C-alpha cells in the first residue's frame, strides 16, 4: 500500500516566515530610522573620541587665535575629505542618536554629522533610540562604532575600554573583571581582552608613554606591562619608543629571562588530550593498501578471508578504502587483545 | 480606540467576510461603537451595509450612495456632492460615516476610483499623500470620541493602501486559506508587519493577533498545511487556535435581501454562528482584555 501524500508549506516559505517573525520579536521598537534636521543634533561631550573641533567651529569657521588651531585645522581637513564623499553619495550608515528634550544627542557618528554640515546638508539619516541607552549600553555602542576605526590612538582606545568596564561594574554592582568577562561584554578576542586588561593595570612609566603617544601598539604595550622588573621594563620601553618590532621586543625579554633562568625542568605532565586509539593515517597510493591486505591474507589464520578481497579494484580510492576498513574489522575480530 | 485590520495580499481568502463578522460582533453582540472602513477598491465590504452605486462616469467601479444627512437645500452642504467615502482622506475632505442597519455600527465606505488613484500615487509622494492619511484621520478627536473600535477591510495588495492601514492599525489579523498561495500572502504581510514594527515606538506596538485559518475544509491539504504551520516553533505561536470553516451560509448572508442578514441573527447554536462567536470572542479577548 502506498503512503498518502502529505502536504506542507515549502521549506523556503517556512524559513521566510519564521525569520520574519524572529526579526520582529527581537527588534521591534528598539530604534527607528528617520531623517533628522542637523540643526536638532548635538554632540555628546562624553564621547570617547576626543575630537577637538566643535559644532561651532564647523558652522562658523576656525578662529586663528584659538590655542588648538593647528590640531583643529588638521581635523577639519580630514572632515572635508569625508564631506566630499557625503556630498556625492550621502552617508552610508545612519548615525545613532537618542532623543534628549528638543534635540537629539549623538551616540555614534560625530564625524559624519560634522562632515554633513560641511557638505552643506540640512538633514541626516539617523537611527533613533526610543529611550536613552543606559550608561553601559551607550558606552558599548560608542565602542563598537569606534572599534573598527584606525585613527583612534591607543590612549583613546584604552580610555574606551576603561569607561565600558566602569559602566559595567556600576550597573552590575561588581568589582569583578576578568579577560573572559571583558571578551563577553565587548566581543573582543580573548588575547585582545587580556592585552587591554594588562595595559589598564600597567605601571606608571608605561601609562605615561601611552598618554604621550609614544607607544601606539596594544600588543607591545601589553608585553611591556607584563615585565615585573623595573629595569628590564624601562629597557623594553625605550627600545619600543625607538621603534623596535614586536619580535625584537620579545627577544629582549627572552634574553633577559634566559639569563635569570636556572635550568628549568621540563614540565612532566603531558599536554593535549588523552590518546585512546590509533590513527591509521592515510595514503594517496592505493597499492600500499593492497600490499597490507595481501600481507595479512598470507597469514594462515586469515587465508579464509581472501575471497572477500578478490574482486576489489585496487586502483580505485573508494574501493581500496572500503577494503582497508574491512580488513581492520576482520583484524579486530580475529585479534585477541 | 482599537484599530483592527484584516490583511492578506492574496485575494479570495475571506478578508471581507472576516472584517464583516468582526465588525458585526463588536457592534451587535458587544454593543461597542464601531466604525467599519472599506479600504478595498472593490468595495464589497461597503456593499454589505449600503446600496453602493455604479458611477456612469467612473467605469472603475462602485461609489457610495447619497448620504442620509445630505440636504441639497441646506447651505452648509453647498460644497458637498452628498457622497462620502473613506478615500476623501486623500483629498483633504472630511469623511462622513454612514449609519447602518446595526445600531452601533457606522461605515466609511470605499470609492473605487478614488482608492485606485491613491494606490497609484507616485513613489516620491506616497508617504505624505497616502501612508500617513489614515493615521491622521483615525487620530482626529471626532473619530476618537465617536468610536471604541475600528475594523478595516483591505485590498489584496501590498501597495500604499495596505501600508497606510498597517500604519494606522493597533492590531492586525491575517486570514488565510490553508493552501500554498495564500500562505505566501502571509509572508508578504509579515514583511509589512516587520517593517512597521521596526519603525514604531515601543509604546505603540503593532500587535499581530495571528493568522486565522479561514474557509477551512476537513481535507488532507488544509489539515496538513495547518499542522505544518502549527508545528513550526516560530510560526506556530501566531496560528490562532480558532478557525472559520468553509460554509455556504457566509455567501448566503452576503446577498442584499438575505434574511437574516447577519450571522449573529441566526438562531441559537447554529453551527456557523457558534464558530463565528468563538473566533470573534477570542480576538476580542486578545485585543480588549
Nearest to B205 among A9, A29, A33 (CB): A29
pLDDT tens digits, B206-253: 999 999 999 999 999 999 999 999 999 889 999 999 999 999 999 899
pLDDT at A151 (0 to 100): 64
Q: What is the CA radius of gyration of chain A?
A: 32
Residues of chain B found within 8 Å of residue A133, distances taken between Cβ atoms: none
Which residue in chain B has the smallest CA separation from A33?
B199
Residues of chain A found within 8 Å of residue B236, distances taken between Cβ atoms: none
Instruction: Find the distance separating the first CA and the last CA of chain B, reported in whole Å.
Output: 13
pLDDT tens digits, B136-186: 999 999 999 999 999 999 999 888 899 999 999 999 999 999 998 899 989
Residues of chain A found within 8 Å of residue B184, distances taken between Cβ atoms: 13
pLDDT tens digits, A307-337: 888 888 888 888 898 899 888 888 888 876 6
Distance CA B153, CA B5 (A): 6
Backbone dihedral angles phi then psi of residue A267, each to the nearest 5 degrees: -65, 140
Distance CA B160, CA B163 (A): 5
Within 13 Å, how many C-alpha atoms sit on residue B40's CB side?
A: 27
pLDDT at B214 (0 to 100): 95
Which residue in chain A has the smallest CA separation from B224?
A7
B205–A13: do the CB atoms touch at under 8 Å? Answer: no
A17–B186: do the CB atoms touch at under 8 Å? Answer: yes
pLDDT tens digits, A53-106: 888 888 888 888 888 888 888 888 888 888 888 888 888 888 888 888 888 888
For residue B254, give the C-alpha cell: 452576503
Check if the interface score ipTM surpasses 0.85: no
pTM: 0.61
pLDDT at B50 (0 to 100): 94
Is the domain spanning A155-260 CATH 1.10.10? The answer is yes
Which fold does the domain A17-133 belong to in CATH? Answer: 3.90.1530
Contacts of B216 (CB under 8 A, 6+ apart): B177, B178, B222, B226, B243, B244, B245, B246
Is B195 in the A-facing interface, judged by CB distances under 8 Å? no
Nearest to A7 among B200, B208, B221 (CB): B221
Kindly list the distances between the CA atom of residue A322 and the CA atoms of A117, A301, A311, A326, B238, in Å, as whole numbers in the listed order: 71, 21, 12, 6, 50
Q: Kindly state the average pLDDT of the residues B260-275.
A: 93
Q: What is the mean pLDDT of chain B?
A: 91
Residues of chain B found within 8 Å of residue A18, distances taken between Cβ atoms: 232-235
Is B228 in the A-facing interface, judged by CB distances under 8 Å? yes
CA B102 to chain centre: 17
Is B218 in the A-facing interface, judged by CB distances under 8 Å? no
Evaluate if residue A30 carries a pLDDT over 90.
no
A4–B220: do the CB atoms touch at under 8 Å? Answer: yes
Nearest to A29 among B180, B183, B202 (CB): B202
Contact A162, A201 (CB under 8 A): no
Please list, residue by residue across A216-249, b when 16 or more beta carbons sit within 10 angstroms of its beta carbon and e when fewer do. ebbebbbbbbebeeeebbebbbebbeeebeeeeb
Contact B36, B19 (CB under 8 A): yes
B193–A14: do the CB atoms touch at under 8 Å? Answer: no
Residues of chain A found within 8 Å of residue B232, distances taken between Cβ atoms: 14, 17-18
Nearest to B183 among A5, A13, A24 (CB): A13
Q: Kindly state the average pLDDT of the residues B54-82.
A: 85
- The 10 Å Cβ neighbour count of residue B202 is 12
pLDDT at A141 (0 to 100): 72
Contacts of B198 (CB under 8 A, 6+ apart): A23, A24, A27, A28, A32
Evaluate if residue A3 carries a pLDDT over 70.
no
The structural domains of chain B, ordered by start, are 2-70+77-288 (3.40.50.300)
Instruction: Name the burial class of residue A9, with classes exposed (0-12), middle (13-18) and buried (19+) by CB atoms within 10 angstroms of its CB.
Output: buried
A7–B229: do the CB atoms touch at under 8 Å? Answer: no
pLDDT at B14 (0 to 100): 92
A32–B200: do the CB atoms touch at under 8 Å? Answer: yes
Better-predicted residue by pLDDT, B219 or B204: B219
B190–A20: do the CB atoms touch at under 8 Å? Answer: yes
Q: What angle do CA B10, B14, B15 make, to 5 degrees?
A: 75
Is B194 in the A-facing interface, judged by CB distances under 8 Å? yes
Least confident of A33-37, A46-50, B63-67: A46-50
B225–A10: do the CB atoms touch at under 8 Å? Answer: no
Which residue in chain A has the smallest CA separation from B202?
A29
What secondary structure letter does DSSP report for B96? -
Amino acid at each position: 500500500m502506498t503512503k498518502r501524500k502529505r502536504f506542507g508549506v515549502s521549506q523556503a516559505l517556512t524559513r521566510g516566515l519564521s525569520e520574519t517573525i524572529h526579526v520582529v520579536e527581537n527588534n521591534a521598537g528598539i530604534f527607528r530610522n528617520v531623517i533628522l534636521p542637523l540643526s536638532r543634533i548635538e554632540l555628546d561631550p562624553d564621547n570617547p573620541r576626543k575630537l577637538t573641533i566643535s559644532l561651532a567651529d564647523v558652522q562658523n569657521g576656525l578662529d586663528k587665535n584659538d590655542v588648538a588651531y593647528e590640531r583643529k585645522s588638521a581635523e577639519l581637513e580630514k572632515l572635508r575629505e569625508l564631506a566630499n564623499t557625503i556630498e556625492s553619495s550621502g552617508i552610508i550608515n545612519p548615525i545613532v542618536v537618542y532623543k534628549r528634550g528638543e534635540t537629539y544627542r549623538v551616540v555614534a557618528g560625530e564625524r559624519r554629522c560634522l562632515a554633513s554640515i560641511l557638505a552643506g546638508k540640512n538633514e541626516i539619516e539617523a537611527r533613533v533610540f526610543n529611550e536613552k541607552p543606559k550608561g553601559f549600553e551607550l558606552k558599548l555602542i560608542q565602542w563598537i562604532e569606534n572599534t573598527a576605526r584606525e585613527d583612534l590612538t591607543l590612549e583613546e582606545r584604552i580610555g574606551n575600554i576603561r569607561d565600558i568596564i566602569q559602566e559595567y561594574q556600576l550597573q552590575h554592582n561588581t568589582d569583578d573583571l576578568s579577560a573572559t568577562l571583558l571578551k563577553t561584554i565587548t566581543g573582543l578576542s580573548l588575547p585582545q581582552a587580556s592585552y587591554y586588561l594588562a595595559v589598564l593595570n600597567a605601571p606608571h612609566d608605561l601609562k605615561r608613554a601611552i598618554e604621550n603617544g609614544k607607544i601606539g601598539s596594544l600588543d607591545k604595550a601589553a608585553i611591556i606591562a607584563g615585565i615585573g622588573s623595573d629595569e628590564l621594563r624601562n629597557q623594553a620601553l625605550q627600545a619600543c619608543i625607538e621603534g623596535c618590532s614586536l619580535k625584537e621586543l620579545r627577544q629582549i625579554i627572552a634574553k633577559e629571562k634566559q639569563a635569570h633562568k636556572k635550568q628549568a625542568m621540563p614540565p612532566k605532565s603531558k599536554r593535549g588530550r588523552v590518546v585512546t586509539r590509533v590513527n591509521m593515517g592515510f595514503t594517496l597510493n592505493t597499492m600500499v593498501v593492497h600490499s597490507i591486505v595481501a600481507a595479512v591474507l598470507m597469514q594462515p589464520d586469515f587465508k579464509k578471508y581472501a575471497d572477500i578481497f578478490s574482486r576489489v579494484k585496487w586502483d580505485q580510492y573508494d574501493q581500496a578504502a572500503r577494503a582497508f576498513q574491512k580488513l581492520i574489522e576482520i583484524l579486530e575480530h580475529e585479534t585477541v587483545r | 480606540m482599537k484599530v483592527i485590520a484584516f490583511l492578506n495580499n492574496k485575494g479570495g481568502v475571506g478578508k471581507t467576510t472576516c472584517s464583516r463578522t468582526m465588525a458585526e460582533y463588536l457592534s451587535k453582540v458587544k454593543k461597542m461603537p464601531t466604525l467599519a472602513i472599506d479600504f478595498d477598491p472593490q468595495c464589497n465590504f461597503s456593499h454589505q451595509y449600503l446600496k453602493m452605486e455604479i458611477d456612469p462616469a467612473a467605469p472603475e467601479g462602485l461609489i457610495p450612495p447619497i448620504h442620509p444627512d445630505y440636504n441639497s437645500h441646506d447651505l452648509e452642504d453647498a460644497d458637498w456632492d452628498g457622497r462620502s467615502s473613506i478615500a476623501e482622506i486623500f483629498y483633504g475632505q472630511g469623511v462622513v460615516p454612514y449609519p447602518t442597519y446595526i445600531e452601533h455600527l457606522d461605515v466609511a465606505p470605499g470609492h473605487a476610483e478614488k482608492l485606485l488613484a491613491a494606490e497609484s500615487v507616485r513613489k516620491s509622494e506616497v508617504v505624505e499623500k497616502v501612508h500617513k492619511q489614515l493615521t491622521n484621520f483615525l487620530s482626529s478627536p471626532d473619530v476618537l470620541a465617536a468610536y471604541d473600535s475600528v475594523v478595516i477591510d483591505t485590498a489584496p495588495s501590498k501597495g500604499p493602501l495596505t501600508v497606510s492601514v498597517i500604519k494606522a492599525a493597533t492590531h492586525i489579523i491575517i486570514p488565510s486559506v490553508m493552501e500554498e498561495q495564500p500562505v505566501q500572502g502571509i509572508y508578504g504581510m509579515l514583511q509589512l508587519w516587520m517593517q512597521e514594527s521596526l519603525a514604531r515606538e515601543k509604546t505603540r506596538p503593532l500587535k499581530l493577533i495571528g493568522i486565522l485559518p479561514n474557509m477551512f475544509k476537513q481535507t488532507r491539504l488544509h489539515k496538513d498545511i495547518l499542522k505544518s504551520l502549527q508545528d513550526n516553533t516560530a510560526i506556530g505561536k501566531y496560528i490562532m487556535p480558532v478557525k472559520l470553516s468553509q460554509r455556504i451560509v457566509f455567501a448566503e448572508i452576503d446577498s442584499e435581501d438575505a434574511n437574516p442578514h447577519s450571522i449573529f441573527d441566526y438562531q441559537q447554536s447554529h453551527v456557523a454562528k457558534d464558530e463565528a462567536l468563538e473566533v470573534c470572542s477570542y480576538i476580542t479577548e486578545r485585543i480588549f482584555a
